[in-house]
Amino acid sequence: MNSLVDAWCALPTRLRIGGWCLWSLSLCVLAAICMPDMAQPESEERLQQRVALRGQWQALRHLVNSVDEHLMATDGARPSFSPLHFQVPQMRLQHWKPTASGGEMALKGQWDAVPQIFSQLALQGMGVSQFSFRVEDAELLLTFQLEQPNDG
């Protein structure tokens, strides 16, 4: 091994620089040949993800528009708030601590039900002043500070 290093150091400087440049160039060419094969599937996957996300956004926009139309059609006929309405298969009520203008509600369940909770609270006329979440026993624990808006 030492003989290779000694032979390399014994070469003229120009030859060493030329060898180093040739070696670097060959590695760059090899990398350029290998990279397009790896980069192509990634861009196709990203394109498929974009198409899927665009479809989801269109479905969400349609859903929001239908909810807005439904709210306009009901003309303020809003269901009364009850923490028991949040006992659904994906969420369970942990506790409810009422106050004069709202209360604290804790729910335990899955991430999928979170958007539905906020829309249900809005439909029932409750405002969320604070909320927090944390993972507890492999489930999501949501805590809400709720307020009933003053209409007068």
Query: To the nearest 10°, the Cα dihedral for 44, 50, 55, 61?
Result: 180
For residue 8 the two structure tokens come to 């390399």
d(CA 126, CA 53): 31
For residue 131 the two structure tokens come to 């909320």
pLDDT tens digit at each of 152 positions of the chain? 788 888 888 889 999 899 999 999 999 998 888 876 665 556 788 888 989 999 999 888 888 777 766 666 665 566 788 888 888 888 899 999 998 888 999 999 988 888 888 888 888 888 899 999 999 888 899 999 999 877 54
